[in-house]
Structure formats: structure tokens, C-alpha cells
Amino acid sequence: MVSEEIEVLVVGAGQAGVAMSEHLMGHGVPHLVVERHRVAERWRSERWDSLVANGPAWHDRFPGLEIADLDPDSFASKDQVADYLVAYAEKCRAPIRCGVEVTAVRKNVGRAGFRVETSDGPIDARYVVAATGAFQRPVIPALVPDDAGLVQIHSSSYRNPQQLPAGAVLVVGAGSSGVQIADELRASGRQVHLSVGPHDRPPRRYRGRDFVWWLGVLGKWEAATPPRGAEHVTIAVSGAHGGHTVDFRALAADGIELVGRAVSFADGRIRFATDLAANVANGDANYLSLLAEADAYVERNGLDLPEEAAAHVLGPDPECVTDPVLELDLAGAGITSIVWATGFAADYGWLQVDAFDENGRPEHRRGVSSEPGVYFLGLPWQSRRGSSFIWGVWHDAKYLADQIVIQRGYAAYAADAGPAATGYVAVAGIEDAARLSGTVALGTESTR
Ligand SMILES: Cc1cc2nc3c(=O)[nH]c(=O)nc-3n(C[C@H](O)[C@H](O)[C@H](O)COP(=O)(O)OP(=O)(O)OC[C@H]3O[C@@H](n4cnc5c(N)ncnc54)[C@H](O)[C@@H]3O)c2cc1C
């Protein structure tokens, strides 16, 4: 079968793929973005109905466009985020082809580039950017068997309380998804148990500023690696109800029964670790340390931000924390469903190249993989803490586009043409990009 030839193939049109396209466009690099569903499909159809962005609209966006019709300090709904990414793709004239799934990428033998198999026929690409993100495969720990007699879903399949059978619910995982889902279920009148593991919980606002601002001025978004021991610590924040600090004491006061990490299951009974109080205490310590750093920053810089003494007062631990339930008879407690808010894994089964370590994890530096010509985008901590967030992925995409331009320069070098041949291929590529964006249908049909 005759294959289409393309210089750079970007796989996936979430925020990562859109940002990548913008930067490649900026360099005039011919490219194509293929997306198996629609632009920003995860935001569109793979999140719960009431989800809003975790960061305020002024922050959780790309630099070149504001989110339409939204107070910058408010939180975009999931559909507003999806619409925003579509609008951004259209603004950039991103050459996106929707409804095309990449099924395999293999290195060409004896020549540069990659053979890409897609649901729409083969493509030959010189460079491949895997922008399929880190949130691909829902992870549910193998704890409660399928035949345990209750409904079990992952948070990515949760939509709203009405979807679950009548009865109490166990929510496992207290990151942003778990706490928001537990809160919504409780507000709908359900009995809720929330299994709380290690977490960070920054204050939503402190001294008049959102925590995203504090993380920015304190340089924490730029941190290159997670703090030691915190590699697997989830972050509990919420933009729901106009944004509020995730407060486990308040959740308990609302009637949510907090329990420790779910560790085993037998004979209809689920057991929890004895770590609940420690997890809550560590989350408190994380919260208080950010207040302290913020106070020091205010002091050092002479900022006129109102003091907020009350934010430092946490109150006593609720009884469910001081005397936690360690074992629960699910049927006895009336629990008819479990929502596993236990995170996601990457899934690069389609990327059959030498870009992974022995554990199957992407092997890369800032997204430049160990397989020359293959790049990753959208990985957590790809270059910094901010990497998996909308604004952070934009900066990583910029870096990768620069790397691709540099490599194209080397590839174009011809000894007899001299150094002028290197580094200037991007200029020559502008025409190609214009030609390409003209041939690939843009606009509503292709990007929605
Ligand atoms: C519940 C939840 C809330 C979040 N809230 C925020 C937030 O408020 N702010 C924030 O900045 N981040 C947030 N994130 C994190 C992250 O920004 C989003 O998950 C975002 O969707 C990641 O974007 P991405 O482009 O890296 O990946 P994705 O959005 O997952 O995009 C990848 C795309 O690739 C496509 N694809 C996958 N495989 C193939 C293939 N083989 N061929 C073709 N196409 C393929 C998929 O269909 C998908 O559209 C949240 C994450 C979750 C889980």
C-alpha cells in the first residue's frame, strides 16, 4: 500500500498535541496531528459531568488565548476546556486529522524515519511525537474481584451520582478526583466512605492569592523532580463550587467516613491500612508548609497581602481519624458500589521502538526519547512539576519543537553545501507547512 509521507507526525490531539502543532507551525515544520476521536476527547467525554478545571482560568490555559466568556479567577467547566482547545487549534490552523488511530509505529530498517500504521492507512514519518498523554489507561488495583456482588467503576467512567445503584459508596483514592467525587456523592444524599492515601493538599487561596500563584512565585511549578519520597503522592485540589481548599475535617463533618488505604479483601470484607491519621497529618504538614513559605515570601518582598491567621488553625481530628475503621463488611455497610479514583497509566503499546526502559516506562530527557526521532509529550514531570498541566505542556512542546528543528538541521547538512545548510531548514519548511495546512481540512468538522 502506498504510504503518505509526512515530516513530523504528532499522535493525539489533546492539549499536548495542540501545543505541539502550534510550535511546529511557528517553526514552519511540516507536520500532521492524528487523533483517534475528537480534539480534547478526554475533557469532552472521559470525565465526570460536573468536573471543572483545578486551576483558575487565568492560569490553566495556553499563553496565546484567554478562555472565552469566563471570569479569569473562575474555573472552566470540562466542556469549556474542550471548547477552548478546539478554538486554540483553529486559531493556530493546526493540521489535525480526527478519527484516525495510530496502531503501530516502527523504525524503518536501514533508513531514517518511521513506518506508522493507522486506521486510515500507512504514513511514513521522519519524526514522531507521542502526545497521547499519561492519562490513558485507568488503573484499578486487583483488590476486589469482579464477582464480589457490587458495581465497581474507575473515576474515568464516573459521570454523576444517578449512575450508581442505590446504596452507600466506597470511593478509593483522595486525590483531586476522589475527593470531588466523594463530595458530590455525599451532597446527593449517599452514605460515603473515602479511602485516603498519601496526598498533598495546598490551600486553594491564601492571603488573597490562589495556590497556583503561590506555586509560581515560589518557583515550585519549575521544580525538575518530585521532592524525595513524594513521587507517588497525589495532589488534592478542587475548583468545584468556585474553588475551595480540600479539607478532610470538613468532609468528615459533612458525614463522609474517612478510612485508610484499601489494602486487602476477603469474604466480603475490605481492610484498610492504619495509615489514615498519618496521611491526614502529612497532608496538613504540606498545607502548613506552603502557608509558611507564602508568609516568608510576603515578608521578604514587603507585599501588601492581608494576613490570614485563621488559615493556620486546623482544629481537632475527627473521630473517624482518631479511631478509624480498619475493616468493613461491604454488604453490612450497605455499600453497593466502589469508585476507584486510583489514577491512570500510560499505554504505549502502539509505539514499538526502542524508547522504553526495562519496566516499559518512557526513557527520555525532557521528552527527547532514547530512540532518535521519537519524542514524548504530556508526561508528568517531563521537565518540571507543571508538565502535565495545560500551561506546562505548552512549554515542553516549545522545547521539543526546538529539538526537532535542530535535528532537521543536522539531517539537512550536506558537506559540500557548508554550514549554511544547517539550522535553516525551518525557514525552507514554511512553504511546506502552508501547503500542508491547506490540504488538511481544518475547522469544525475536523477538530470537533
Ligand atoms: C480528572 C482529571 C482532571 C484534570 N484536571 C486538570 C486541570 O484542571 N488542569 C490541568 O492543567 N490538567 C488537568 N488534568 C491533567 C491533564 O491536563 C489532562 O488529563 C489532559 O487531558 C492531558 O492532556 P494530554 O494532551 O497530555 O493527553 P490527553 O488529553 O489524554 O490527549 C491524548 C489524545 O490522544 C488520543 N490518542 C491516544 N492514543 C491514540 C492513538 N493510538 N492514535 C491516535 N490518537 C490517540 C486520545 O484520544 C486523546 O485525545 C486532569 C486530569 C484528570 C484525570
Mutate to test the pocket of ligand 1, among 9, 10, 15 (most ligand atoms within 8 A of CB): 15
Ligand 1 atom, smallest distance to 17 CA: 25
Each residue's pLDDT tens digit in the chain (448 positions)?
Answer: 788 999 999 999 999 999 999 999 999 999 999 999 999 999 999 999 999 999 999 999 999 999 999 999 999 999 999 999 999 999 999 999 999 999 999 999 999 999 999 999 999 999 999 999 888 999 999 999 999 999 999 999 999 999 999 999 999 999 999 999 999 999 999 999 999 999 999 999 999 999 999 999 999 999 998 876 666 678 999 999 999 999 999 999 999 999 999 999 999 999 999 999 999 999 999 999 999 999 999 999 999 999 999 999 999 999 999 999 999 999 999 999 999 999 999 899 999 999 999 999 999 999 999 999 999 999 999 999 999 899 999 999 999 999 999 999 999 998 666 554 444 444 333 334 333 333 333 333 344 3
Ligand 1 atom, smallest distance to 12 CA: 34
pLDDT of residue 379: 95
Cα separation, 2 vs 422, whole angstroms: 31
Is ligand 1 within 6 A of the CB of residue 397?
no
pLDDT of residue 133: 86
**Ligand 1 mean position, distance from CA 155 (Å):** 14
- Do the domains at 4-136+346-437 and 145-342 have one common CATH topology? yes
Selection from 29, 133, 13 nearest residue 406 by Cα: 29
Is ligand 1 within 6 A of the CB of residue 276?
no
CA distances to 183, 293, 387 from 247, in Å: 11, 20, 26
**Ligand 1 mean position, distance from CA 185 (Å):** 24
pLDDT of residue 243: 96
**Ligand 1 mean position, distance from CA 42 (Å):** 5
Ligand 1 atom, smallest distance to 15 CA: 25
Ligand 1 atom, smallest distance to 41 CA: 49
Considering the domain 4-136+346-437, what is its CATH architecture?
Answer: 3-Layer(bba) Sandwich (3.50)
At residue 5, φ and ψ (nearest 5 deg) are -110, 135
Mutate to test the pocket of ligand 1, among 35, 43, 62, 184 (most ligand atoms within 8 A of CB): 35
pLDDT of residue 415: 66
Task: Count the Cβ atoms, other than its own, within 10 Å of residue 233.
Answer: 18
Cα separation, 290 vs 214, whole angstroms: 8
Cα separation, 72 vs 329, whole angstroms: 46
C-alpha cell at 424: 535553516
CA distances to 216, 246, 343 from 233, in Å: 20, 15, 11
Is ligand 1 within 6 A of the CB of residue 342?
no
Give me the count of residues in the chain: 448
**Ligand 1 mean position, distance from CA 355 (Å):** 21
Is ligand 1 within 6 A of the CB of residue 47?
yes
Is ligand 1 within 6 A of the CB of residue 343?
no
Half-sphere exposure of 396 (CA within 13 A, CB side): 35
Domains of the chain: which residue ranges? 4-136+346-437, 145-342
- Give me the residue label for grid cell 509505529: 105
Is ligand 1 within 6 A of the CB of residue 238?
no
Q: Looking at domain 145-342, what is its CATH homologous superfamily? A: FAD/NAD(P)-binding domain (3.50.50.60)
Is ligand 1 within 6 A of the CB of residue 177?
yes
pLDDT of residue 225: 83
Is ligand 1 within 6 A of the CB of residue 52?
no
Mutate to test the pocket of ligand 1, among 46, 132, 156 (most ligand atoms within 8 A of CB): 132
Ligand 1 atom, smallest distance to 43 CA: 21
CB 253 within 8 A of CB 318: yes
**Ligand 1 mean position, distance from CA 309 (Å):** 38
- Report which residue type is found at 347: D
Q: Which residue has its alpha carbon closest to ligand 1 atom 27? A: 133
Ligand 1 atom, smallest distance to 392 CA: 11
Is ligand 1 within 6 A of the CB of residue 387?
no
**Ligand 1 mean position, distance from CA 384 (Å):** 17
**Ligand 1 mean position, distance from CA 15 (Å):** 7
Q: Coil, strand or helix: which one is 335?
A: strand
CB 355 within 8 A of CB 371: yes
Q: Which residue has its alpha carbon closest to ligand 1 atom 46? A: 12
Is ligand 1 within 6 A of the CB of residue 118?
no
Is ligand 1 within 6 A of the CB of residue 130?
no
pLDDT of residue 439: 33
Q: Which residue has its alpha carbon closest to ligand 1 atom 32? A: 132
Beta bridge partners of 262: 272
Q: How far is CA 19 from the centre of its chain?
A: 14
pLDDT of residue 430: 37
pLDDT of residue 255: 98
